[in-house]
Structure 1
């Protein structure tokens, strides 16, 4: 009788193991919490990957918040987050400041992206050169008729200076020339898109994952912000999207990063409108 009970116990245990493997919800038996903060561009990638990772690992809790790339990097330096999302590379001064306090800002590249220049759909303009974009944002050009468009005031919409998107645009499009006084400064990609949608004369810029039919993307130097052009490096305003950690990720954070870089994770990157790093 005892032998029968033991055999039944083993059989039930084996069935339980098989069931766990099949439902995918005990992947590595992971437990713990991860806090992520930073870039609003990286935010949808972080949210989508966190949701799926928690579905696979019910005992894991991942908190995701925005705030801008500078905030994400700062939170790593302050040990208030395990992952700092950034749509730009860490600055030399940030790396040095972190190192002075024993923090190693480690760059984990999770996606590729392009920063599209957007206008309202009623705008007749379809292409802008980098020089024209610079002249618009520095205030040298103030009316669309100066560029062959309608007689309409140009409404300049830019990201705030804590934004990684702003940093890349500032370097690659504006060549480090300051945005003119009086420009509308917004805190997120969504806010930039909304501002352009609501103002016929507006111009702004946003990551690929935020583009929709409410705005029109113009070519830059006659080059479209497409996946092939961004991967090839021909589109002039492109970038890597990052998740910074304090040193190489370990433990639960490492498992989460490996998931993002897996085929499944990179599919989620593409679903959010961004470009997988394996392209």
Structure 2
């Protein structure tokens, strides 16, 4: 038989251990609850952030706020294919955001014409295939506002010849010499004894011409030998009936055509890169088959003549005009806009 004092001490020890155990259960439960709540909170936060990222990446025209009204725009003829793909989808997403393409009266369409019309208040925003010129920035400031160019797409410039003309390609130097009047016969570049007819739009009309003069001709003046055309449709039509002709324009306007031949070009030497995917589709196979754009070569810069294209916006204290132009540019930079631009034969920039 145990002493009474020993029994009392044992009971106290048992109570103490029970109390310690109970405290342990409470503490462990609290930690489990706290940690579990934090983990769940982190998961919820990550899920929310993930959803935000997905929404941002997969944004479409409806995700952009577009002011209601009828808005006038115009400019670069190189944008024609983009307008065909983009505008109907914008109308579906924003029926009250009415876009009206507007040509100048008594002036040929083009980037320069569009920017001039924007400066003069005839357009809400314009489209350009070349950067804004210093003189245009100055003219805007004289009128009390600024101009902003927003790059939205990348494209290539294509050189075209008559389908019957057999040459492997041209270097940038040879193209330059043709358009400044130094090379006048195709036999000077490995072709037949045939006079060259170089076609071009006028310098003051199109952004493509200014880009060509600045980047291919290195700032030299177009030669007196050049025959001027009204627009690319006119140029391609003349080229199709002139075996000695040559013309340049936006690649999406040139490459799919049936009656002309887009030409591989090289920075130098014989490293020719075609603006179309090989093999070349012959005229008698077209239009059942058409040449496709060499998008990868444009994207990587392997093709020698590429450029950015811009939405030109009038910046004027966040005016309605500015909001409209920026909304249009934002739509083109959404995933939906960039996908449609790619389908139109241009290179997406994001």
The offset of 1:250, in angstroms, is 4.7
- Number of the residue aligned with 1:258: 330
- Number of the residue aligned with 2:50: none
Matched, 1:234 2:271: no
Structure 1 range deviating more: 130-139 or 191-200: 191-200
Q: CA RMSD for the aligned pairs?
A: 2.3
**After superposition, where does 1:39-50 map in structure 2 within 5 Å?**
39-50=76-87
Change (3 A) 1:27 1:259: closer
The offset of 1:29, in angstroms, is 8.4
The offset of 1:25, in angstroms, is 9.0
| Matches of 1:201 and 1:126, distance apart in 2 | 15
- 1:163 alignment partner, one of 196, 199, 206: 206
Q: CA-to-partner distance for each residue in 1:37-56, whole Å, 9 max, x for gaps?
A: 11100133134322221122
- Number of the residue aligned with 2:134: 92
- Number of the residue aligned with 1:197: 240
Residue pair 2:76, 2:110 contacting (<8 A) in 1 also? yes
| Matches of 1:27 and 1:132, distance apart in 2 | 46
| Matches of 1:266 and 1:240, distance apart in 2 | 14
Change (3 A) 1:138 1:51: same
Q: The residue matched to 1:254 in structure 2 has which SS?
A: helix
Q: Deviating runs (4+, > 4 A) in structure 1? A: 24-30
| Matches of 1:276 and 1:88, distance apart in 2 | 17
Matched, 1:213 2:258: yes
Residue pair 1:32, 1:252 contacting (<8 A) in 2 also? no
Q: TM-score, normalised by structure 2?
A: 0.67
Q: The residue matched to 1:132 in structure 2 has which SS?
A: helix
Residue pair 2:314, 2:325 contacting (<8 A) in 1 also? no
Q: For structure 1, which runs of at least 5 residues remain unmatched after alignment? A: 1-23
- 1:73 alignment partner, one of 110, 115, 133: 115
- Number of the residue aligned with 2:222: 179
Matched, 1:244 2:286: no
The offset of 1:172, in angstroms, is 1.5
- Number of the residue aligned with 1:9: none
Q: TM-score, normalised by structure 1?
A: 0.83
The offset of 1:163, in angstroms, is 0.7
Aligned length: 255
Q: Which has the larger radius of gyration?
A: 2
Q: For structure 2, which runs of at least 5 residues remain unmatched after alignment? A: 1-60, 104-108, 267-271, 276-293
Q: CA-to-partner distance for each residue in 1:106-160, whole Å, 9 max, x for gaps?
A: 1111210111111111110121111111111122221112222112211110121
The offset of 1:30, in angstroms, is 5.4
- Name whichever structure is richer in strand by fraction: 1
Change (3 A) 1:25 1:230: closer
The offset of 1:258, in angstroms, is 2.1
